[in-house]
């Protein structure tokens, strides 16, 4: 058996990612809690409830699990509605609790990355029109200043917004996220306000912490035409990519939003990233379909022989990770993979998905692409938004009724990778033997 190791650079960040509403529990003052109470919003009527009970204190044992798994970093988010429960009040107790969390990560020798907005908004912000209201920009800047002032002793990696492209498209075009609207004009208005809020937040953070590194976590989807020779499929593929990948990616790079239906300048946004946060999960084929107007006339589907997750939610397309990093190189910034993972309750796909995607990152590093870290989604099963508790993304399984955690084999696999700072042939043979020949031929 060939013996070799794909080594990563010294100082590479190995972590997992979580978000406040999905793990804390009883976040009763935000838009997602309200959304969960409405009929037919969440699959099977599921509710976040206690989630992973982090607000009740179980973050301590889960941080221990991450540290014991040799992770040297963790990405978590702050719940705005806890820190600022009403427009005129800050909750210092909530800030103290977040301070305790990030300090505890540092004490476990883990680098902390903090996300300031991960899909959920305070109810008071929604009541004033949410991101349709220009006043949200200043409100977000004040929130950034408050949180950074409280946590800057322990954090210098900041993500202002997680996947704002999905937040906008799912909330204002497809209507499956709050506020549940289907209005392209509002979607464009919200896009502009979030871009300006990010730019304001970027400068606010740097005003308090000169050494801070600030970014947006982009959700990148790799698209390819179903028929390479078809100009209609090529057009539909380009349109999908232009809207979903460039909605925020374009203005942050060039200062200009270019869409098939709009063009607008946002010079304030240009250059307001210190690294490129990249979330990648899968790749789609796209065929032109005149009947799919709400999906930009592009029908997305996986290949017939795709290696699919439960419910055919994700396809294991590791080459798309390399293409995502190539896309990121246009920014001339360091790259951190801020999310990557797969829903897999049985843990049968996750080992090879994890190894193959990390192998593509290793390839990119060996092309001298400046990839500095990787955050797997997620540390443990959590509430997956409109899909409720139907999908399991965790290295650790969670029984949300009993709060019992159970280690999956992938947790041990990831621990070995983190410990070795690389992917060894022995590790692949042990945890994902079905792909051994692909990675170590001969």
* Tens of pLDDT, residues 228-260: 999 999 999 999 999 999 999 999 999 999 988
Residue 389 contacts residue 87 (beta carbons within 8 Å): no
Is the pLDDT at 383 greater than 90? The verdict is yes
- What average pLDDT does range 248-275 have in this prediction? 95
pLDDT tens per residue, range 158-183 = 999 999 999 999 999 999 999 999 99
Q: Give me the number of domains the chain comprises.
A: 1
DSSP structure class, residue 9: P
pLDDT tens per residue, range 384-430 = 999 999 999 999 999 999 999 999 999 999 999 999 999 999 999 99
Q: Supply the pLDDT for residue 278.
A: 98
- What average pLDDT does range 265-290 have in this prediction? 97
Helix (H, G, I), strand (E, B) or coil at 5: strand
- What average pLDDT does range 81-107 have in this prediction? 98
**Cα separations (Å) of 152 from 113, 197, 441?**
11, 20, 47
Question: Predicted confidence band at 51 (pLDDT cuts at 50, 70, 90)?
Answer: very high
Token pair for 155:
């954090």
CATH code assigned at 308 = 3.20.20.80
Token pair for 211:
């050494």
Task: Return d(Cα 309, Cα 407) in angstroms, integer.
Answer: 19
Question: Predicted confidence band at 366 (pLDDT cuts at 50, 70, 90)?
Answer: very high
Q: Supply the pLDDT for residue 364.
A: 98
Whether cis (ω within 30° of 0) applies to the bond prior to 378 is yes
Half-sphere exposure of 67 (CA within 13 A, CB side): 15
Return mean pLDDT, the chain.
97
pTM, entire model: 0.98
Task: Return d(Cα 124, Cα 136) in angstroms, integer.
Answer: 11
Question: Predicted confidence band at 292 (pLDDT cuts at 50, 70, 90)?
Answer: confident
- What average pLDDT does range 134-150 have in this prediction? 98
Half-sphere exposure of 374 (CA within 13 A, CB side): 28
Q: Supply the pLDDT for residue 295.
A: 80
Q: Supply the pLDDT for residue 379.
A: 98
Q: Supply the pLDDT for residue 2.
A: 77
Enclosing domain of residue 13: 5-439
Q: Supply the pLDDT for residue 262.
A: 83
């Amino acid at each position: 058996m060939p013996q070799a190791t794909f080594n990563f650079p010294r100082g590479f960040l190995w972590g997992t990612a979580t978000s406040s509403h999905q793990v804390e529990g009883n976040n009763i003052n935000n838009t997602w809690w309200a959304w969960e109470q409405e009929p037919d919003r969440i699959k099977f009527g599921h509710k976040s409830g206690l989630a992973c009970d982090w607000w009740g204190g179980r973050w301590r044992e889960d941080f221990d699990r991450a540290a014991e798994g040799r992770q040297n970093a963790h990405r978590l988010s702050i719940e705005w509605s806890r820190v600022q429960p009403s427009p005129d009040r800050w909750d210092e107790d909530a800030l103290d609790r977040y301070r305790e969390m990030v300090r505890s990560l540092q004490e476990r020798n883990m680098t902390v990355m903090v996300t300031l907005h991960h899909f959920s908004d305070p109810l008071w912000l929604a009541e004033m029109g949410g991101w349709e209201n220009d006043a949200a920009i200043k409100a977000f800047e004040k929130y950034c200043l408050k949180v950074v002032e409280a946590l800057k002793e322990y954090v210098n990696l900041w993500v202002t917004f997680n996947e704002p492209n999905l937040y906008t498209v799912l909330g204002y075009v497809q209507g499956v996220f709050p506020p549940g609207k289907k209005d392209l004009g509002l979607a464009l208005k919200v896009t502009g306000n979030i871009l300006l809020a990010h730019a304001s937040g970027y400068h606010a953070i740097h005003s308090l912490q000169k050494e801070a590194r600030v970014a947006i976590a982009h959700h990148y989807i790799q698209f390819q035409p179903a028929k390479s020779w078809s100009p209609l499929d090529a057009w539909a593929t380009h349109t999908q990519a232009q809207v979903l990948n460039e909605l925020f990616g374009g203005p942050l790079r060039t200062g200009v939003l270019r869409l098939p239906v709009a063009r607008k300048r946002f010079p304030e946004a240009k250059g307001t990233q210190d690294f490129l946060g990249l979330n990648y999960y899968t790749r789609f084929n796209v065929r032109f379909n005149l009947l799919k107007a709400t999906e930009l006339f592009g029908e997305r589907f996986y290949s017939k022989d795709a290696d699919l997750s439960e419910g055919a939610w994700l396809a294991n397309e590791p080459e798309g990770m390399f293409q995502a990093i190539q896309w990121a190189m246009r920014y001339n910034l360091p790259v951190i993979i801020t999310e990557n993972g797969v829903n897999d309750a049985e843990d049968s796909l996750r080992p090879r998905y994890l190894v193959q995607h990390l192998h593509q990152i290793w390839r990119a590093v060996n092309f001298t692409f400046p990839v500095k870290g990787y955050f797997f989604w997620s540390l443990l099963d959590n509430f997956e938004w409109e899909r409720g508790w139907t999908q399991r993304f965790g290295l650790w399984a969670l029984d949300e009724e009993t709060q019992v955690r159970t280690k999956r084999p992938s947790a041990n696999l990831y621990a070995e990778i983190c410990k070795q700072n690389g992917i060894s042939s022995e590790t692949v043979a042990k945890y994902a033997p079905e792909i051994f020949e692909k990675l170590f031929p001969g």
